[in-house]
Structure 1
Amino acid sequence: MKYIKLSLLICVTFLLFPSCNNDDDNTNSSTTINGTWHLKNVRGGFVGINIDYTRGEVFYDFNLNNNTVNITNNILTTGPEDIYAGLDSGTYSIRIEQNGTTETLFIDNVDKGTIDLQGNTLQLDDNIAADGFLMEFER
């Protein structure tokens, strides 16, 4: 009789376990990239570029509801600040591909790098070891 009760208890326990789910494990950075991000710094490259940007000079407004980014580029010079600021002002299509825990941002089907989102800081790393660039944004 004890064997039957123990077996029944074990069966009931295993039947209930699959219904448990931790939704916290299903979050990723693409759900929080929505909104406006101000370009703060671009660094890297073969010659060691390190350019700081003033808040409001360049900002990206991501909208995952319609898979677009509206970029505002207010740089007026044609120097390095403009060259490394990224795309010109406009609205572009975006796609975020997930490969395991790594997310890659594509703007108009061009790989713009992996997404590293930590609080109010967003980094796009183009993952080119020797002469790649890292763009850093803040909310």
Structure 2
Amino acid sequence: MLLRLIKYPLLTLGIFLLTACHSNNDDDLCCAYPVTLQGNWSLTHVQGGFAGVDDTITHGLIIWHFNTETHTVTVTNNNTDDTILYDGLESGSYTYDIVTENDAQYLHIQSNDFGRLAYTAFQLTLDGNMGADGFLLTFKR
């Protein structure tokens, strides 16, 4: 009888502590990891193109660093794998602009359209109209 009296309050306390510590607030995640283009993005996947490319790229092999103040992207492309048919830009610094049309953003690098830009705190995609032989580039933080 004494065990039963102790067991239920402990169970109630345990459930309370578990639910009190859990946060369902997405704002907490957004504040800890702001949604910004600024910083390093690692090219991790390329698909599309005339040849039907579908390549996964090792994280950190190709880095695009966006500087939103100077509108430059600095690319460090260390890919030496010839089986990867398209790996974006060569190493170097490039100027970029973001053009907004019909509530969509498009990334232009050195005046070349790289496609529709979409990003979260952890992932960036450039959709160069894959349906018309363009490439879909996926980047991760």
> TM-score, normalized by length of structure 1?
0.71
Partner of 1:15: none
Sequence identity, in percent? 37
Alignment of 1:106-117 (within 5 A): 106-117=108-119
Amino acid in the other structure paired with 2:139? F
Partner of 2:65: 61
Partner of 1:50: 54
| Among candidates 33, 37, 40, match of residue 37 of structure 2 | 33
Partner of 2:29: none
Distance 1:108 1:130 in 2: 22
Alignment of 1:81-92 (within 5 A): 81=84, 83-92=85-94
Q: Deviations over 1:74-94 (max 9, x none)?
A: 0124x142x411111000001
Q: Deviations over 1:46-102 (max 9, x none)?
A: 33211011111101000010010000000124x142x41111100000111111320
Q: Deviations over 1:6-63 (max 9, x none)?
A: xxxxxxxxxxxxxxxxxxxxxxxxx711110000000012332110111111010000
Amino acid in the other structure paired with 1:35? G
> TM-score, normalized by length of structure 2?
0.70
Structure 2 gap ranges (5+)? 1-34
Structure 1 stretches (4+) deviating beyond 4 angstroms? none
Partner of 2:125: 123
Distance 1:135 1:56 in 2: 15
Instruction: Give the aligned length.
Output: 107
Distance 2:83 2:50 in 1: 14
Structure 1 gap ranges (5+)? 1-30
